[in-house]
Structure 1
Amino acid sequence: MTQTDGAILIGKSTKPETLVLKLANRHGLITGATGTGKTVTLQVLAEGFSAAGVPVFAADVKGDLSGVAAPGEPRDAFVKRAKEMGYDYQPDEFPVVFWDLFGEQGHPVRATILEMGPLLLSRLLDLNETQEGVINIAFRIADEQHLPLIDLKDLRLLLNEMTKDDSLKPVAMQFGNVADATVGSIQRQLLILENQGAAKFFGEPALEIKDLMTTDRDGRGSINLLAADKLMANPRLYATFLLWLMSELFEQLPEVGDPDKPKLVFFFDEAHLLFNNAPKALLDAIEQVVRLIRSKGVGIYFVTQNPLDIPDTVLAQLGNRVQHALRAFTPRDQKAVRAAASTFRPNPKLKTEEVITQLGVGEALVSTLEGKGTPTMVERTMIRPPAARVGPITPDERRRVMMSSPVRGRYDTAIDGESAYEILTQKRKLQTPAPASGQGGTPAGQAPGQAQPQGGGGLFGDILGGILGGGSSGGSGGRGRMTVTERVIANAASSAARTVGTQLGKAILRGVLGSLSK
């Protein structure tokens, strides 16, 4: 029993405590000290949403959530608790899709540098204001000069060429001075990021949001689990990835108002990592996304130890709350308890501040939205037992789930197509002086009388000339030079592709996060 009458059963106090699906996109918060049952509560909600046909995305920080893909066990404690809540315990399993930024425990998750945007990328690299300005200039040049930024090598070469390429240096200077030392500092940060394995995240095929919003043949929403145990070794990458995913949902999904149930529910575990040392511009962007994304039918649920981890401007927008036990051993702990108690609608039958420190494992204070969006009075609640397995599945079970995944084969192989790196490399080759052949000054490798590439048309003309007028096509087995007809056709196709790419790039860059045109 995971849902009833358009609501998810969370547990029972003096009455059943439920989360109304129609109000589930008003966001939520799950807090509590380590070991008090936050992960189980997250699993209970994920099961309920899935059973209601709502897809879920959650980070599996410790691997425990993977058990949702396997049937639960009728433990005596679970059977007894279910009886006390008025239903018979029935083991169940749910449709799960595993994801992994490193491609080890799930399908690879990728995004392009362009999709990440300059603001989030600067946050990921921990850049200062000057360095962030250079990243913004690089993105502007890439947009104006039709240089697709896909992976780290694209950005690295573009940054290098901004201070060395005679045609790029004047463009960069239009937006401000780009010093070699600043570029060098950014390059070192990129190297650190690459050594941490983040290079696997940037590339193609990029994740399509629609693949997170699937249902199975029975109408159950898929539970998308991101393997985050290894990812937590780089908390900035973890937080930046989840923030990028939030922004992509915000940008791509249409307005739907308040649907009968969410289109997707997003659980952000270890949420304090998102806000730690975040600059004001980023905090403002997060607040804006959280405030507006509910009209896209997306509910965001933050999971963290302490409610003080969440800024007040964001905390005020989290209407559905589950508070597990907090300890009050230090002045900061006591402040957290008072802060948590003050966020609930008071219940005259409870001394909320005292109860928070007395809750046992599996107990929580619960307050959800009802009626016209007003919070219920806080109640001391026993959380219902999960229907699926509590704890991780085995590697063999994980492989079997992945073999039957609806996205099997779609993201598993990386694609390295033509992008800024290939274009700039080809351009550099054309600009490198070739030794004279001794035949009237004709460059080596060029037949007498063959026209040399023209310098007209600026950088874009030079790039197209390099791509379309080269001596042989790579990977073609020694094919000769293009005919005039072939060159015209290739020119038209390349121009169209660049135009479409530029329009898409500008559309993404105009988003809430990473905007350059505000």
Structure 2
Amino acid sequence: MNRKEDFSNQINEGYTFKGDFITIGGAILDNEVLPNTYVNIPLKTLNRHGLIAGATGTGKTKTIQVLSEQLSLKGIPVLMMDIKGDFSGIAQPGEEKSFITERHQKIGLEYQTKGFPVELMTISEQNGVRLRATISEFGPVFFSRILDLNDTQSGVVSVVFKYCDDNSIPLLDIKDFKKVLQYITEEGKAEFTSDYGRISTASTGAIFRKVIELEQQGGDLFFGEKSFEIDDLMRFDENGNGYVNVIRLTDLQDKPKLFSTFMLSLLAEIYNTMPEKGDAEQPELVIFIDEAHLIFDQASKALLDQIETIVKLIRSKGIGVFFITQNPMDVPSSVLAQLGLKIQHALRAFTANDRKAIKMSAENYPISEYYKTDEVLTSLGIGEAFVTVLNEKGIPTPLVATMLRAPMSRMDILNPAEISESISKSKLAKKYNEVIDRESAYEILTKKIEQAQVIATKEEEKKQKEKEAKKNTRTSSSTSNTVTKGIVKMLTSATFIRGAMGLLLKMMKK
């Protein structure tokens, strides 16, 4: 038995599973696709998360498209973070071309074209089903971590949430939170201090600045109602195919704070909402996070700890999370260690640092007697990748260079008219795109301030009237005294005159 036959037998044995699986391509050795040697992924371990990495232009997006299609066909919904805006074409059938037919002939897989059920979503100003969450749903601890606050500032946020809970004041959007901060440090300071203690204006000022930073990145669009319900991600079409939910994020590449806020809130909400699934035969939902470095680049240690914790725990809810990035080193080692499936496209070595990074990346994969991993990483073609998965016992499969199958759907984006048509037919758009701004903290506290101002104005008017009345009383009394004195003076003068006249008359008679 020769080297290729040995390798083919090893791959066929390592990638054969008792349960259901998806087929993503054929094994490559010495630049040759081996016949009838397929690379499969067991559905049972897809909740163990994964990494899809590779340089720009090596085929990562098409790999995600293939995985999403195969999952959808198995009745598994998908959530895709579309940062570059090149994933929406999965809604339409692809076009069979000669190079695609040739690729599938090499692999030994039949090729067909097909479109998939898609829901286009957004958290920004782009067109799509609007995804929102309220500040109350975040809770004080999570909201503080998003804002990257210190312990003192986090304590203030906790007291703010407690004040709102105690007084039945809903915290829904950013203007609500800003209004509460303003109220407890200005108009309502005395009321707040008497019940919850004194807080530093320096702390509230720092929190206010952090909130404005988040607001400027688009947080005012994300926070609010109607809150998105996680169950609406788990939908199927009439044929039982899982929906592919595409979140359009092309305008968020320069807004990492909002992106990480959304991702963590979504993962936390899914974890808190979904029931425990245990050792299920297939995942309930698979999430693909493109340009994953946007989550980690500006994340504080507290935020990274939160991500690591959620990634560890969420798999028990039947959720698989896949990070897509250019270099595996973009993902923190603590998170990387949690990932079972690894699909590594080609890396480019232009500098000494690139070569060091490639050697480090090669160490993340199982040792293989058939490949010099660091060398092959730089020579893989477009649509080719190193693959290793966890088998049904949780053991890594042999490392295999793979020629990946082509997507069945369109390998291009939807045009604006197609996007508008898709959203106009969406039941979720009708459910979530209505703007709701019910009475919450902003309105309640604004009304309270206005009422206090009205009362203060009335009190001031009352005091002014009393002051005027007292002034008038004093003036009246003074006038009365003056008149009395005048009358007395006049009477006295009259008496004197009468006396004088009487005396004069008596003298004349004599």
Q: For this structure pair, what is the TM-score category when the shorter chain's length is used for normalisation?
A: 0.7 to 0.9
Distance (Å, rounded) in 1 between the aligned partners of 2:367 and 2:103: 27
Helix, strand or coil at the partner of 1:64: coil
Partner of 2:369: 348
Shift of 1:136: 2.9
Q: How has the CA–CA distance of structure 1 residues 355 and 402 changed in structure 2, closer, same or farther, with 3 Å as cutoff?
A: same
Kindly indicate whether residue 305 of structure 2 is the aligned counterpart of residue 284 of structure 1. yes
Q: Once the two structures are superposed, what CA deviation does each residue of 1:208-234 show, in whole Å capped at 9, x if it has no partner?
A: 001111111110111111111012221
Kindly indicate whether residue 65 of structure 2 is the aligned counterpart of residue 43 of structure 1. yes
Q: How has the CA–CA distance of structure 1 residues 194 and 278 changed in structure 2, closer, same or farther, with 3 Å as cutoff?
A: closer
Partner of 2:474: none
Would the aligned equivalents of 2:130 and 2:429 in 1 still touch at CA under 8 Å? no
Distance (Å, rounded) in 2 between the aligned partners of 1:154 and 1:277: 26
Shift of 1:23: 1.0
Q: How has the CA–CA distance of structure 1 residues 85 and 436 changed in structure 2, closer, same or farther, with 3 Å as cutoff?
A: closer
Partner of 1:386: 407
**Aligned positions of 1:471-482 closer than 5 A:** none
Partner of 1:168: 192
Partner of 1:269: 290
**Aligned positions of 1:46-445 closer than 5 A:** 46-164=68-186, 165=188, 166-173=190-197, 178-432=199-453, 433-436=455-458
Helix, strand or coil at the partner of 2:253: helix
The one-letter code matched in structure 1 to 2:394 is G
Q: Once the two structures are superposed, what CA deviation does each residue of 1:79-134 show, in whole Å capped at 9, x if it has no partner?
A: 11112222321111000001111253211111001123334434544545544443
Q: How has the CA–CA distance of structure 1 residues 255 and 180 changed in structure 2, closer, same or farther, with 3 Å as cutoff?
A: same
Q: How has the CA–CA distance of structure 1 residues 75 and 130 changed in structure 2, closer, same or farther, with 3 Å as cutoff?
A: farther
The one-letter code matched in structure 1 to 2:47 is N
Shift of 1:135: 2.5
The one-letter code matched in structure 1 to 2:303 is L
1:7 to 4, 21, 24: 21
Would the aligned equivalents of 1:436 and 1:442 in 2 still touch at CA under 8 Å? no
Helix, strand or coil at the partner of 1:97: strand
Q: How has the CA–CA distance of structure 1 residues 315 and 438 changed in structure 2, closer, same or farther, with 3 Å as cutoff?
A: closer
**Structure 2 length normalisation: TM-score?**
0.81
Q: How has the CA–CA distance of structure 1 residues 206 and 442 changed in structure 2, closer, same or farther, with 3 Å as cutoff?
A: farther
Distance (Å, rounded) in 1 between the aligned partners of 2:199 and 2:60: 48
Q: How has the CA–CA distance of structure 1 residues 331 and 123 changed in structure 2, closer, same or farther, with 3 Å as cutoff?
A: farther
User: Percent same amino acid at aligned positions?
Assistant: 44
Distance (Å, rounded) in 2 between the aligned partners of 1:55 and 1:236: 27
Partner of 2:477: none
Distance (Å, rounded) in 2 between the aligned partners of 1:377 and 1:106: 41
Would the aligned equivalents of 1:124 and 1:237 in 2 still touch at CA under 8 Å? no
Partner of 1:470: none
Shift of 1:238: 0.9
Partner of 2:507: none
Shift of 1:39: 0.9
Shift of 1:442: 13
Q: How has the CA–CA distance of structure 1 residues 364 and 437 changed in structure 2, closer, same or farther, with 3 Å as cutoff?
A: closer
Q: How has the CA–CA distance of structure 1 residues 75 and 172 changed in structure 2, closer, same or farther, with 3 Å as cutoff?
A: farther
Distance (Å, rounded) in 2 between the aligned partners of 1:401 and 1:440: 63
Q: Once the two structures are superposed, what CA deviation does each residue of 1:449-471 show, in whole Å capped at 9, x if it has no partner?
A: xxxxxxxxxxxxxxxxxxxxxxx
Question: When you count helix as a share of all residues, which structure comes out higher?
Answer: 2
The one-letter code matched in structure 2 to 1:350 is Y
Distance (Å, rounded) in 2 between the aligned partners of 1:270 and 1:205: 28
Shift of 1:48: 1.0
Helix, strand or coil at the partner of 2:39: strand
Distance (Å, rounded) in 2 between the aligned partners of 1:193 and 1:279: 15
Distance (Å, rounded) in 2 between the aligned partners of 1:418 and 1:34: 48
Shift of 1:336: 2.4
The one-letter code matched in structure 2 to 1:408 is A
Helix, strand or coil at the partner of 2:430: coil
Would the aligned equivalents of 1:53 and 1:220 in 2 still touch at CA under 8 Å? yes
Q: Once the two structures are superposed, what CA deviation does each residue of 1:39-70 show, in whole Å capped at 9, x if it has no partner?
A: 11111111111111111111111111001011
Shift of 1:383: 1.1
The count of residues paired between Structure 1 and Structure 2 equals 438
Helix, strand or coil at the partner of 1:301: strand
The one-letter code matched in structure 2 to 1:7 is F
Distance (Å, rounded) in 1 between the aligned partners of 2:261 and 2:155: 19
Distance (Å, rounded) in 2 between the aligned partners of 1:439 and 1:171: 30
Would the aligned equivalents of 2:77 and 2:233 in 1 still touch at CA under 8 Å? yes
Q: How has the CA–CA distance of structure 1 residues 277 and 171 changed in structure 2, closer, same or farther, with 3 Å as cutoff?
A: farther
Q: How has the CA–CA distance of structure 1 residues 440 and 100 changed in structure 2, closer, same or farther, with 3 Å as cutoff?
A: closer
Partner of 1:32: 54
Would the aligned equivalents of 1:68 and 1:94 in 2 still touch at CA under 8 Å? yes
Q: Once the two structures are superposed, what CA deviation does each residue of 1:119-166 show, in whole Å capped at 9, x if it has no partner?
A: 443454454554444323322322333221101111011111222212
Q: Once the two structures are superposed, what CA deviation does each residue of 1:369-400 show, in whole Å capped at 9, x if it has no partner?
A: 11311111111111110000112110111112
Helix, strand or coil at the partner of 1:33: coil
Partner of 1:472: none
The one-letter code matched in structure 1 to 2:93 is P
Distance (Å, rounded) in 2 between the aligned partners of 1:206 and 1:103: 17
Distance (Å, rounded) in 2 between the aligned partners of 1:129 and 1:188: 16
Q: Which moved more, 1:416-425 or 1:148-157?
A: 416-425
Distance (Å, rounded) in 2 between the aligned partners of 1:85 and 1:393: 29
Would the aligned equivalents of 2:253 and 2:294 in 1 still touch at CA under 8 Å? no
Distance (Å, rounded) in 2 between the aligned partners of 1:95 and 1:308: 34
Distance (Å, rounded) in 2 between the aligned partners of 1:229 and 1:127: 28
2:39 to 1, 6, 17: 17
Partner of 2:505: none
Distance (Å, rounded) in 1 between the aligned partners of 2:302 and 2:210: 21
